[in-house]
A and B are shown apart, each in its own frame.
Chain A
Amino acid sequence: MNTHACLLTAEHLSFVYPDQTDPALQDVSLALERGQALGLLGPNGSGKSTLIDLLMGLKKPQAGKITWTRFALSASSAAILPLSVALVPQEYALYPELTCAENLYFFAGMLAISRQEITRRVEEAIQRCMLEEFLNKRANQCSGGVRRKLNLAIALLQKPDVLMLDETTVGIDLQSKLFILDQIKQLVNAGCAVLFATHHMDEVSALCSNILLLEHGKVVASGALDTLLIHPDKGQVFKDLDALFMHYTQKP
């Protein structure tokens, strides 16, 4: 049984959409370890969401190999359990006509856990994402920030060992954004591996120790953030992450 710290490895992944000629992803490799937050960066259309779809098994790569650890030392307990992978998609992946509580109980009910455990996990997610005052409100009547929190809370019901977040903070106010980032940071500290796709550099620098920078489906930079912040040619330190991003994506 493999309970190694490395939960996921992807090697030389390539993917072309059926109706396109240019590859959406080309020769992409990455590794994700317990307690690691990997920032997945890149401009719009660079292949971030496609990569997440491949890793989640929603699309099949035409080339390359994805290896998941089947069992992991649980991020939330000391037990060795089947690896739990949760996704927080870019959209509000919930039922707008249901209340926040109904959404949480519905998704928790999809897990192979007892009724008591369902209640326990829902209560924990509510508390963690501070949704108490919105429980009886329909999701479509909540603000964008609350819906983002609910989106995250649903993923937390799975008690994930690996959490994949695809532009989770789009369109919300600063308070909600900082709250969500703080929650993710706590998950990472508790041993959860996080793949965090975004194009907000401040979020990456606040959260991630490593980054994978994509441009036109290719990896243009990857590794520890500290190392990457040193200019590869000049040896100087980039002014900030924005400068690094612009350098690699070759936009003035």
Chain B
Amino acid sequence: MNMFAHRARQSIRIALKEWRLLLRNPHGLAVLFLMPAIFVLITSVTMKNTLVAPLSMPLTGWVLEDNSQAAKKWLNDWQQRHLGALYPSRQALQQALKDRKIEAGVLVLKGWLTSDGTPDVKQIEIWLDHRIQPAAAGKLRAELAFSTLRAHMNIVAARGGAFTSILLNSVQTSDLLADSNTPQIRYLYEIESGRKINAVQQTVPAWLIFGMFFVVIPIAGVLIQERRDGTLTRLGSFGVSPVALLGGKFAAFLVMNWIQLGFMLAVGYWIVPLLGGEALSLDFSIGWFIGIVLATSTAAISLALAIAAWTQNFDHAAALGSGLNVVLAAIAGVMVPRMLMPANLQLISEWSPMGWALDGMQAVFLGVPEASFMLPRIGLLLAFAVLCGGMSWWRLR
């Protein structure tokens, strides 16, 4: 029998055996399919708020420690636009926050109206419920600052006479960040592709990558058992080379990664909309999509094989594999979107395997992928795979 054909047949049989073992391992399947799907569902709905949902003004409660007429008038103006209950004391305000009757407290300190008769924005404290979105808190702060400025101008204008007051009254009712009256934000991806950026378009590729790298759990489970029980030794005595062994495992999990991919696309397309999120758009470049998924899958399986080959037992492999995946995912911006990272961390995240994969996937899912952007990332992922594959072969040879 031709040696190459024999080795190929060995690899195919090893791949089928891996599949059989995987199908009998419900925990491994849960890690590979359910975990990333749950992450997609949660983060798609969560990120939807951050990215596209209209930002509403938090419901406020007020305590006026400044008893000036100007402060009362200022509060009255605010209540006409945004409501807001008045509380008699700090304690009452704190209790209202705890009881979730309000989302934010505004404490107008004594001295808000300065000795020269103008308001001082530094004499305002904002108390927030723990659950309030940072963007909503930012909106409240900006509106309070703008409103204080307007009160300041009204006071100054009143001193300036009737004409100045009439001029100011024309902008009196508008808010700084009114929903219908703000500049539009467009991300670069959106400008390039013309597609509207949405949460599910970002979370599906991110968590897909995370799930793909979690093949370390089933791969390590079997490979370490094979090593511990002498099955690898026995396979060696049956003429199975490390290349045929690794090739079989690689083929099995390559197919598995594609099934993961199909599952995650289905979750994004059908399940996320059922929970109130946007549907995943599948309008992207298929060629680059296949390229980046193959490169990511190759890197993920090779890393898993290297971890399985170099750890002593399954506990070590599971701890190292899971821990490393979580760290890599955190660095790459899978867990915390890159937009929330400081500039230095963003730079680091672009130099990690999951970062290369995420860049490539997001270019496919969100923007218009170009060869000059995609090829270096695919190349880096494949180089990483060769390094990890070489380490596995060295250990098992």
Tell me the A73-105 residues at the B interface (CB within 8 Å): 85-87, 89-98, 102
A91 with B229: CB separation less than 8 A:
yes
B20 with A111: CB separation less than 8 A:
no
A158 touches B (CB below 8 Å): yes
A23 touches B (CB below 8 Å): no
Q: Which residues of B contact A106 (CB under 8 A)?
A: 13, 17
B379 touches A (CB below 8 Å): no
Q: Which residues of B contact A97 (CB under 8 A)?
A: 20-21, 24-25
Q: Which residues of B contact A109 (CB under 8 A)?
A: 9-10, 13
CA distance A107 to B17 in the complex (A): 10
B163 touches A (CB below 8 Å): no
With contacts A94-B231, A110-B10 taken as known, whether A158 is within 8 angstroms of B238 at the C-beta atoms is: yes
Give B11 Cβ to nearest chain A Cβ, in Å. 10
B234 with A107: CB separation less than 8 A:
yes
Tell me the B215-235 residues at the A interface (CB within 8 Å): 225, 228-231, 233-235
B17 with A95: CB separation less than 8 A:
yes
B34 touches A (CB below 8 Å): no
A93 with B240: CB separation less than 8 A:
no
Q: Which residues of A contact B170 (CB under 8 A)?
A: none
B6 touches A (CB below 8 Å): yes
A85 with B237: CB separation less than 8 A:
yes
A112 with B1: CB separation less than 8 A:
yes
Tell me the A126-185 residues at the B interface (CB within 8 Å): 154-155, 158
Number of interface residues of A (CB under 8 A): 26
B236 touches A (CB below 8 Å): yes
Residue in A53, A98, A107 whose Cβ sees the most chain B Cβ within 10 Å: A107
CA distance A102 to B21 in the complex (A): 11
Choose among B24, B229, B237 the residue that contacts A92 (Cβ–Cβ < 8 A): B229
Nearest CB in chain A to that of B23: its residue: A97
B21 with A87: CB separation less than 8 A:
no
Q: Which residues of B contact A86 (CB under 8 A)?
A: 237
B239 touches A (CB below 8 Å): yes
With contacts A97-B25, A110-B240, A111-B239 taken as known, whether A56 is within 8 angstroms of B233 at the C-beta atoms is: yes
Give A90 Cβ to nearest chain B Cβ, in Å. 7
Give B94 Cβ to nearest chain A Cβ, in Å. 58
Tell me the A111-125 residues at the B interface (CB within 8 Å): 111-112
With contacts A92-B229, A98-B20, A112-B1 taken as known, whether A87 is within 8 angstroms of B9 at the C-beta atoms is: no
Give B14 Cβ to nearest chain A Cβ, in Å. 8
Q: Which residues of A contact B235 (CB under 8 A)?
A: 110
CA distance A109 to B17 in the complex (A): 11
Q: Which residues of B contact A158 (CB under 8 A)?
A: 237-238
CA distance A110 to B20 in the complex (A): 16
Main secondary structure of the interface of A (DSSP, over half): loop
Nearest CB in chain B to that of A86: its residue: B237
Give A116 Cβ to nearest chain B Cβ, in Å. 13
Residue in A53, A90, A97, A111 whose Cβ sees the most chain B Cβ within 10 Å: A97
A93 with B9: CB separation less than 8 A:
no
Q: Which residues of A contact B236 (CB under 8 A)?
A: 56, 58
Give A55 Cβ to nearest chain B Cβ, in Å. 11
CA distance A154 to B234 in the complex (A): 9
CA distance A112 to B228 in the complex (A): 26
Taken residue by residue from 81 to 92, chain B's Cβ proximity to chain A (1 for < 8 Å, 0 otherwise) reads as 000000000000
CA distance A154 to B231 in the complex (A): 11
Give B337 Cβ to nearest chain A Cβ, in Å. 39
Choose among A85, A89, A91, A98 the residue that contacts B17 (Cβ–Cβ < 8 A): A98
Q: Which residues of B contact A87 (CB under 8 A)?
A: 230, 233-234, 237
A110 with B230: CB separation less than 8 A:
no
A93 with B21: CB separation less than 8 A:
no
Give A57 Cβ to nearest chain B Cβ, in Å. 8
Give B105 Cβ to nearest chain A Cβ, in Å. 59
Nearest CB in chain A to that of B1: its residue: A112
With contacts A109-B13, A110-B240, A112-B1 taken as known, whether A89 is within 8 angstroms of B234 at the C-beta atoms is: yes
Q: A56-B237, A110-B240 are in contact. List 12 more A-B contacts (CB 8 A).
A: A58-B236, A87-B233, A93-B229, A93-B231, A94-B231, A96-B225, A97-B20, A98-B21, A109-B9, A110-B10, A154-B234, A155-B234
16 residue pairs A–B, Cβ–Cβ below 8 Å: A58-B236, A87-B233, A87-B237, A89-B233, A93-B229, A93-B230, A93-B231, A94-B231, A94-B234, A96-B225, A97-B21, A97-B25, A106-B13, A110-B235, A110-B239, A112-B239
Could you tell me which A residues sit within 8 Å of B by CB distance? Answer: 53, 56, 58, 85-87, 89-98, 102, 106-107, 109-112, 154-155, 158
The 3 closest A-B CB pairs, nearest first, are A89-B230, A93-B230, A110-B238
